[in-house]
Structure 1
Amino acid sequence: MAKNTKNRKAALAKVDLNKEYSLAEAAGVVKEITFTKFDASVDIDVRLGVDPRKADQMVRGIVTLPHGTGKDVKVLVLCTPDKEQEAKDAGADFVGLDDYIQKIEKGWTDVDVIITMPAVMAKVGRLGRILGPRNLMPNPKSGTVTTEVGKAVKEVKAGKIDFKVDKTGIIHTSIGKVSFSPDMLAANAAEVIQTLTKLKPSSAKGTYIKSVTLSSTMSPAVMIDKNSI
């Protein structure tokens, strides 16, 4: 249970935890109830009516947020020498192959996204035990294993994110910063929800999107009226 601090009491006084808000209203409320001294992240949580234990109900996808994440995403590109300049020109923070593989094997993972090429996956594959638990392992489904490394870097820098349902059936991802306007946050959230709607597994029965909430770092969660989406 969250500690009932002075700031939390102030936040709870400004939000009705039993009310369901429209996306735009919820985004505004989240901004009002955030008292952190830093530019906090705003997250969306979507509870899905799926069973992640079944392979045909594992929901995973990618989405490009129209207003980006507000975060300076650090990108590592593991590629062959002929692709290094392309990656650098696109804005990659780190570019190389064997030297970075060795660094990662020694424990270095100070990046947000790793992009690589099919031709070097044999080398990158052995990093799975390190990168997998940190959700950093490149994957063709998320667009991080590609021959077009420059394009992939630009998309990630522009706000492309990937998401995957967790073992409890929830999609959790960041959709921006508290400094964003309510309209920007609502647009980013709507893009995530629309993408999820298209990914509904044919084997999933009953209500697909069960609940949606918005929250910021250390703020209470604000419920969304699904009919307003």
Structure 2
Amino acid sequence: MNTHGKKYRAASERRDQAKAYDSKQAIALVKGMAFAKFDETVEVAIRLGVDPRHADQVVRGTVVLPAGTGKTMRVLVIAAGAKVQEAQDAGADFVGTEFLQKIKDGWLDFDVLIATPDQMGQLGQLGRVLGPRGLMPNPKAGTVTFDVAKAVRESKGGKIEFRVDKGGNVHAPIGKVSFTPEQLESNFTALLDTIVRAKPAAAKGVYIRNVAISSSMGPGVTIDTTPFR
């Protein structure tokens, strides 16, 4: 019994499943194999040689994708005083402490939550709501800061956060199928370079083990990891 539809199987025949391609070839294949009627997201899956069970081998960070994500990010800033105007001037969609109550009432129509450090005491009460959805601000991600203007601009401009999962994998979007090959290549390179720089000192052996790229609905393409070792 087949587990994939005809379009998926037809797309799969365009790539050699046993071959590892260079990033430019892989991106061209992914764009060519996309068959959905919507603008699919291009995603990268990276298998790392780390053991996330140990705190000193957790890989986490952020990167600003040069060509953006292709998604319009709705940014909420929890701040007071002069920081309210600063966030509004930087392009934040929602600003103010009144949104704390709205979140308590079930409102979650935003993609990124930025907060100034003095507001984290109140936000901590919403951890059970925000945490599971990946919306809780974090200093390591640059979303707990007094420089709200910079944080807003980065979030609007293509900043993404990545974190290794329990299996030692990192999954991250690098744009849309409608992006040019050059845009996807620049985003891919920025992501991989950042992950390579984030290698924990405690990690032993091969760090970048496997890399694959795919569109939301399309088959994956394996990328040669030699340049990243």
Hey, what does 1:45 align to over in structure 2?
Answer: 45
Moved over 6 A (4+): none
Partner of 2:195: 196
Aligned-partner SS, 2:120: helix
What is the CA–CA distance in structure 2 between the aligned matches of 1:195 and 1:228, rounded to whole Å?
14
Equivalent position SS for 1:25: helix
Whole-angstrom distance in 1 between the partners of 2:21 and 2:105: 47
Between stretches 210-219 and 100-109, larger displacement belongs to 100-109
Q: TM-score, normalised by structure 1?
A: 0.96
Alignment check: 8 A CA contact 1:52 1:169 kept: yes
Query: How far, CA to CA, are the matches of 2:174 and 2:31 in structure 1?
Result: 13
**Aligned 1:9-48 pairs, distance under 5 A:** 9-48=9-48
Instruction: Find the residue that maps to 1:21 and give its secondary structure.
Output: coil
Within 1, Cα distance between the matches of 2:227 and 2:143?
A: 33
**Structure 1 residue 118: Cα displacement:** 0.4
Alignment-derived partner of residue 71 in structure 2: 71
User: Contact (CA 8 Å) 1:22, 1:224: kept in 2 or not?
Assistant: yes
Give the alignment of 1:71-110 within 5 angstroms. Answer: 71-97=71-97, 99-110=98-109
Shift of the 2–154 alpha-carbon distance from structure 1 to 2, 3 Å rule, reads farther
The alpha carbon displacement at 1:166 in A equals 0.8
Aligned 8 A contact 1:44 1:212 in 2: yes
| Shift of residue 127, structure 1, vs aligned partner | 1.0
Q: Structure 1: where are the runs of 5+ without partners?
A: none
- 2:129 aligned partner: 130
Residue type at the aligned position of 2:198: L
Report the counterpart of residue 178 of structure 2 in structure 1. Answer: 179
2:53 aligns to what SS in structure 1?
A: coil
Whole-angstrom CA distance in 2 between matches of 1:228 and 1:2: 36
Measured after TM superposition, the shift of residue 106 of structure 1 is 2.1
- 1:54/1:15 CA distance change after superposition, 3 Å: same
CA distance in 2, matches of 1:63, 1:110: 23
Asked whether the 8 Å contact 1:73–1:112 carries over to 2, the reply is yes
* Mapping for residues 165-176 of structure 1, pairs under 5 Å: 165-176=164-175
Kept after mapping to 2: 8 A contact 1:22/1:228: no
Give CA deviations for 1:86-118 in whole Å, capped at 9, x if unaligned: 111111111111x21112112222211100000
Is it true that 1:7 corresponds to 2:13 in the alignment?
A: no
- How far does residue 2 in structure 1 lie from its aligned partner after superposition? 7.9
Task: Give the 3-state SS of the residue equivalent to 1:20 in structure 2.
Answer: coil
**Who is 1:143 aligned against?**
142
| Rounded Cα–Cα distance in structure 1 between residues aligned with 2:44 and 2:8 | 19
Structure 1: distance between partners of 2:222 and 2:113? 33
Whether the 8 Å CA contact 1:43–1:174 is kept in 2: the answer is: yes
- Whole-angstrom distance in 1 between the partners of 2:38 and 2:195: 30
Is the 8 Å Cα contact of residues 42 and 214 (structure 1) preserved in structure 2? yes
Deviation at residue 228 of structure 1 after TM alignment: 4.2
CA contact (8 A) 1:42 1:174 kept: yes
Q: CA deviation at 1:9?
A: 1.7
Q: TM-score, normalised by structure 2?
A: 0.96
Distance 2:2 2:168 in 1: 23
Rounded to whole Å, the distance in 2 between the matches of 1:31 and 1:12 is: 12
The 2-side partners of 1:179 and 1:210 are apart by: 28
Overall identity of the aligned pairs, in %: 52
Structure 2 Cα separation of the partners of residues 182 and 163 of structure 1: 22
What SS class does the counterpart of residue 4 from structure 2 fall into?
coil
Query: 1:41 offset after TM fit, Å?
Result: 0.5
